[in-house]
Amino acid sequence: MSDSAREVLLDIQGLEVHFETRRGIARAVNDVDLQLYKGERFGLVGESGSGKTTMILALLHMIKTPGLIAGGRAIFDDGTDLLSLRGDEVRKNRLRRVAMVPQGAMNSLNPVMRIGDQISLTIREHGEEGTKQELAARVTQLLDRVELKPEVAMLYPHELSGGMKQRACIAQAISLGPQLILADEPTSALDVVVQRQIMQTLRELQLQLEATVLLVGHDMGLMAQFAERVGIMYGGKLVEVGSVTEVFRNPQHPYTQLLISSIPSFERRGIFKGIPGVGLSLLDPPSGCLFHPRCPQAMERCSRDEPGLTSLGTEGHVSCLLHEKEETHGTSA
Amino acid sequence: MHRLDQILYYLRENPMLGAGGVLILFIVLFGTLGPLFVDTELARPLSTTSRLAPSWDHPFGTDDAGRDLLSVMVVGVPLTMRVGLLAGTVGLGVGIFLGFTSGYLGGTFDTIVRGVVDTLLTVPGLVVLISIASTIREEISVNIMAMVVASLAWMWPTRVIRAQVLTMRERAYVQMAKLNGMSTMEIIWKELFPNLLPYLAALFANAVNYAILASIGLEALGLGPQNDPTVGMTIYWAITFSALIRGMWWWWAIPILFIGLVFVGLLMIAAGLDELANPKQRKAV
């Protein structure tokens, strides 16, 4: 499970997304480096406004003015840079290579089109022709893969339950066998039972397709069950990356530590603490480390120096001055 | 045959559409089959005895100039319908094109379209129509009449369609269609257009109604085709020769009745289409 053993699918380097406002520039995604491996399930966690969704929208060229992709690259395994694609290439790339499972499946289906028609329409839009029967067979097969009955193809979205709608969205997302599936809180509007079933389906499909899934969310429990590796975002920066067991068992960044300790568990009882303070304003970010005003372990130099990315043993990285100091002393966590 | 059964069954479930359809069908048959039973020559002036009240020989009576009003209606109702349908179709067509493109694409094009529409909407329509119609009065025909009315029938559809497209453009399923790699035109015609069908049907009925009303308004002022016995021109002659105070009620009441039937029929179809095109309102078939 070391870096060299696994092939990199997508290499994101220095991704910057800025929103230009009257009051200045908000750096919604701030110099993010991230490598996604082939066939892995990666979880991206962070509080609201930390830039998770913005980051995946940037990969799909869906940032709208006043937002803009201000810098960085996202290199696919064949060498194409997702961020430098132009015009029709962007459109062709969507769904065929990078598919998205939307946040609100409730509203993500066209209310006046039958499910089957919606799925076959997107397939045909990508230049895959076929007779009506062939397309219908394909739709049936896709529905079967997400555990929906063939009859669903003839139904309208309002005739489906929330979970079924989400499954239909997943069927559409996998229709062209994408290598990367971006799932933006796919289960946030569903109850926990359905949530679990959907995540299981997503995991099975991911294994069958050997695709990479980038799951975005703030449900730490869901992440722990689903992901192999997780990344923690704060204020547009990726503050910690590591395997799910490492991050949960032995979090390195003070923000991650507070995040983990705020999850209720059966073992630890007592009063749960939240994280003191409120999320930062992107228009007026603090100097130095973005987290230092809320950090219980903040040192004097945290308000001056911006932390870089420090490697943590096997495959983790952390962006915290506490660890940079350790490195200079030659010890490791 | 099976298909016909289904349609008939559906119409029983949706009486509004059925009733509106029957009304308009009646008007259309009146105009198309009427000439087989009624002598259209009697629609010309001086062709029969003038000033007769309705009787068996002349069911709708005759006017001052010696026209048989039944024949006038058989010739005139289709002419008026033609003006309405032509002007309504052109107006809505232009409105759909401009509304969808400016609403979806935005930018400079949208600014120009919006500016022009908003400016033109503040100008009183009748004034513009009168000035256009009076300058080309010499050679006015039914088709020219339709184009005159259409010149003002496109702004309102453009404006309301643009507003609808603006709200739909931001809905999640349109964003998803974009994320799934659909092209702009495909999104406009396959995703947005079907969602607006009931709305467009209602707009079409309104546009036709507006066009008929505008054409009758111009005709009642004497700015219509002088040689064609349209419904509006019949009302114009009835006004000119004071049919109201001379007690010739059939002269003005009959054209008004026909116009009323057309309006009610179109509105019922619009309401019925709303149910047909909106699957949320559709009853199980």
Q: How much is the pTM? A: 0.76
Q: 3-class SS at B270?
A: helix
| Best of A88, A106, A112 to mutate (most B CBs within 10 Å, chain B) | A112
The domain limits of chain B are 16-48+56-277
User: Cβ contacts of residue A5 below 8 Å, gap of 6+?
Assistant: none
Partners of A7 in beta bridges: none
CA distance B141 to chain A (A): 42
Distance between CA atoms of residues A279 and A44, nearest Å: 17
Query: Alpha-carbon torsion A73, A79, A83, A86, what sign?
Result: positive
Helices (H), B106-192: 107-122, 125-135, 142-153, 155-169, 172-179, 184-186
> B163-211 pLDDT, tens per residue?
999 988 888 889 889 888 888 888 998 888 988 887 888 888 888 988 9
Q: What is the pLDDT of residue A157?
A: 92
A9 near A76, Cβ under 8 Å?
yes
Would you call B181 and A122 a contact, using CB atoms and an 8 Å cutoff?
A: yes
ipTM of this model?
Answer: 0.70
Would you call A94 and B179 a contact, using CB atoms and an 8 Å cutoff?
A: yes
More confident residue, B95 or B271: B95
More confident residue, B273 or B118: B118
* pLDDT, one tens digit for every residue, chain A (333 residues): 444 468 899 999 999 999 988 888 999 999 999 999 999 999 999 888 889 999 999 999 988 888 999 999 999 988 899 999 988 888 888 988 999 998 877 788 998 899 999 999 999 888 888 888 999 999 999 999 999 999 999 999 999 998 999 999 999 999 999 999 999 988 887 888 898 999 999 999 999 999 999 999 888 888 888 999 999 999 999 999 999 999 998 899 999 998 888 877 777 666 777 787 777 888 888 888 999 888 888 888 888 888 888 887 767 889 988 887 654 444 443
Q: What are phi and psi of A41, to 5 degrees?
A: -110, 115
Q: What is the pLDDT of residue B279?
A: 67
Q: 3-class SS at B157?
A: helix
Q: What is the pLDDT of residue B280?
A: 66
Q: Which of A60, A100, A108 sits opposite B173 (nearest CB)?
A: A108
Percent pLDDT > 70 in chain B is 95
Helix (H) or strand (E) holding A122: helix A115-125
Chain A residue set in contact with B, beta carbons under 8 Å: 60, 62, 91-96, 99-100, 102-104, 106-113, 121-122, 125-126, 156, 158, 169, 172-173
Class of domain B16-48+56-277: mainly alpha
Residue B90 reports pLDDT greater than 50 = yes
Q: What is the pLDDT of residue B199?
A: 82
Chain B residue set in contact with A, beta carbons under 8 Å: 171-173, 175-183, 186, 190-191, 194-195, 197, 277-280
Class of domain A3-97+180-276: alpha beta
Q: Kindly state the tokens that stand for B134.
A: 């009076």
Q: What is the pLDDT of residue B285?
A: 44
List CB contacts (< 8 A) between B186 and chain A. Answer: 121, 125
- Confidence band (pLDDT; 50, 70, 90) for B260? very high
Nearest CA in chain A to B107: A65
Would you call A110 and B195 a contact, using CB atoms and an 8 Å cutoff?
A: yes
The domain limits of chain A are 3-97+180-276, 106-177
User: Cβ contacts of residue A268 below 8 Å, gap of 6+?
Assistant: none
Q: Which of A92, A102, A112 sits opposite B181 (nearest CB)?
A: A92
Q: What is the pLDDT of residue A325?
A: 61
Residue with tokens 């997508």: A10
β-pairing verdict for A41-46 and A229-234: parallel
Q: What is the pLDDT of residue B282?
A: 61
Average pLDDT over residues B205-233: 86
List CB contacts (< 8 A) between B182 and chain A. Answer: 91, 121-122, 125
Q: A159: alpha, beta or left, given left = phi > 0 and alpha = psi -120 to 50?
A: alpha
